[in-house]
Structure 1
Amino acid sequence: MTQNHVTGMETSAISVLKRAVELDHGSRFQESLVCYQEGIQLLIDVLKALKDDSKKLHYRDKIKGYMDRAEQIKVHVNQLKEEGKYHEQIRIAENSTGYSYEVLFKPYISDGLTEVWVEDPYIRHIHQLYNFLRFCEMLLKASCGVKNIHLLTSQEEDSSSQQAGALVELRQSLQAHGVCLELKYSSSIHDREIRFDNGWIIKIGRGLDYFKKPKGRFSIGYCDYDLRECQETSVDIFHTKHTKTL
């Protein structure tokens, strides 16, 4: 391993752990735990490549400190989950970036996740259908084994709309990847909620449609949602031992 590579890993570790501390101080514990774990692993990789004994000692102390804090957070989060008191809120500011579905949902996706319920009245227009497609793609790429996705939404009244055809096409495409998409429609649906069968519940004020319209088809953020500007909204995260179906 070259010195440049080691330096690069050190820089990455510092950046990730700095973010972990910021999230920790903001009481966004589940997110901070993910960052602590990633940063600790990067520091361990750096430690393996170091030859300087004083630097090794320095990083061992750092790793121990971060591991102790991560364990404290894990105990705290588990206690809140056991008591049914876990609640975390993320405020997405107007015009902010860096809130792709991968970023927002990753801390709550675990290996045991197999079933997802999406309740969102606005999966109707073309950009909203693309949002739901991206959400499904995110689940397929995540380190879990999702087998069932349930969508409850409102139905577009215009019989010539693209909604029905798009969702049927998506259902067929997901089936080819071993995932079953169940579609249900409601004329009275209002709330927006996403439930994972590992107990996490994510409520987004604007549902999946919290991104601003890109300035053009060849403007930055059109393809990469991390670079897409957001509309102001709040995200509330809860945990329950009993995930009810929609």
Structure 2
Amino acid sequence: MNVTQRRFLNSTSTRTHNVTINKSMLNALNEPDLYRFFCLSLYRNRYYNVRLRIEDIAKITGEKESALKNFNKIMDTVLIRKRYLIPINHPVYEFTMRSLYKIPAIDNEGFITLSHKFTQVNLSVKVKGYYIKLLLIAENGIVPLTPRETASKLGMSKNTVTQYNIELHKAGLLRLSSDKLELTPNELLISNDEAIQKREWYPATKDLLPNITLSFDK
């Protein structure tokens, strides 16, 4: 195997079917970064470690790579990230640094389980992250808050919440009323009883990190 092939295999992961997101993360990340965390978590291996390049993550979220310039710094606030060397084909440098992201364990205080199909929904990264936040605060699919109350709880402007609600309604993910929001994620939200994420992840070692291939199949 040549250096280029090793570089690709060492920096990528395969997609899983769903992701659990702890309710404690509600205020830890803003809307776009929460969706980016969801996308990152989709590519965890069985030890709940993720090895992806920023350019790979941008492809998954559908953004330009420049939009993720602060991604690692932000992710450092919610997960453990370790850096490791991989060989590269370069006339001066033999190695470059890559990141290993360790996805947090399930929180006993509560979590939701979201399908990989959410990546196929035609909405912006911001709106998708907002929808995840609604799912985190919903009670049996209902957010018993007015738009103004929702905006206050999530630290957003009322106008932004109203606009996002309209976009979600058009996408069939939300029913609107004056005093509550009814979420309709259908097959996107999976029963927590079916969640496969373990309550603890394993430390990263060379033996626990097999070479795996990136797949962007929907």
TM-score interval (norm. to shorter): under 0.3
Structure 2 length as normaliser, TM-score?
0.24
TM-score (norm 1): 0.22
The structure with more helix, counted as a fraction of residues: 1
RCO greater where, 1 or 2, for CA within 8 Å and sep 6 or more? 2
Greater Cα radius of gyration, structure 1 or 2: 1
